[in-house]
């Protein structure tokens, strides 16, 4: 059960909680309930109770459990779509490595891993989980990797026809296998040094290729 800070509960004379804060509290509570009970068994009553709010308030923000789950996934993955200083690093290789490492630190964390495992375990009974996760991952706009790659294509520094596909390939090459093993529970979360090594190797291949070039 999530502990609710004092400001979460309105008191006489206290200003109403901002809507963004209320949505955040609800999605935080929902994440805990979903991962504790599973999607099918989780109830909107339990989420409202965990957030210290009424069920009526919960439904004002999220009309269904499916909508609440999608918002929970979106909140968990939101940092992947937020611009960062890494995107502006003049050294392209360093920028790509840094963004991969930042993405790994977020995606490989316990909360995000738990949400993805929940989708995998319950997708047959609740196909809306896969649909919601897909919308969040692929319909929320470009991530930092894609934006930086697109900027380099626009400047004429690299040649690519599909920046979105390129960003997915780079992430997959660097972290895909590790992420898959983590989701299956056959390995633990990699440390920063391992992620840095994976990112460097993938970026080197992405930018320079692996084919040996004969000296001219």
Structural domain boundaries enclosing 52: 6-63
Dihedral, CA of residue 150, residue 154, residue 156 and residue 159, to nearest 10: 40
> Which pLDDT value is given to residue 140?
65
83 and 190, same domain (yes or no) = yes
72 domain-assigned: no
Mean pLDDT value of segment 206-210: 91
1 domain-assigned: no
% of the chain at pLDDT higher than 70:
89
Total number of domains in the chain:
2
Other CB atoms within 10 Å distance of the CB of residue 90:
6
**Residue with token string 């992430």:** 171
- CATH at 188: 1.10.357.10
> Which pLDDT value is given to residue 8?
46
pLDDT in tens, 98-126: 999 999 999 999 889 999 999 999 989 88
190 and 102, same domain (yes or no) = yes
181 and 138, same domain (yes or no) = yes
Answer whether 0.75 is exceeded by the pTM. Answer: yes
204 and 128, same domain (yes or no) = yes
- CATH at 39: 1.10.10.60
């Amino acid at each position: 059960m999530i502990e609710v800070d004092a400001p979460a509960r309105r008191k006489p004379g206290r200003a109403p909680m901002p809507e963004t804060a209320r949505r955040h509290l609800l999605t935080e509570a929902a994440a805990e309930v979903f991962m504790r009970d599973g999607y099918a068994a989780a109830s909107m009553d339990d989420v409202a109770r965990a957030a210290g709010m009424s069920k009526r308030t919960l439904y004002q923000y999220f009309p269904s459990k499916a909508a609440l789950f999608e918002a929970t996934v979106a909140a968990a993955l939101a940092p992947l779509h937020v611009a960062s200083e890494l995107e502006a690093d003049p050294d392209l290789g360093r920028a790509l490595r840094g963004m991969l490492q930042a993405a790994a630190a977020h995606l490989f964390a316990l909360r995000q891993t738990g949400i993805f495992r929940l989708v995998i375990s319950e997708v047959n009974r609740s196909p809306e989980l896969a649909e919601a996760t897909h919308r969040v991952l692929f319909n929320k706009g470009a991530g930092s990797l894609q934006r930086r790659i697109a900027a380099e294509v626009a400047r004429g520094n690299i040649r690519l026809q599909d920046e979105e596909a390129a960003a997915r390939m780079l992430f997959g090459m660097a972290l895909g296998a590790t992420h898959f093993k983590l989701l299956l529970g056959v390995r633990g979360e990699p440390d920063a040094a391992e992620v840095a090594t994976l990112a460097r190797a993938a970026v080197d291949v992405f930018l320079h290729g692996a084919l040996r070039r004969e000296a001219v």
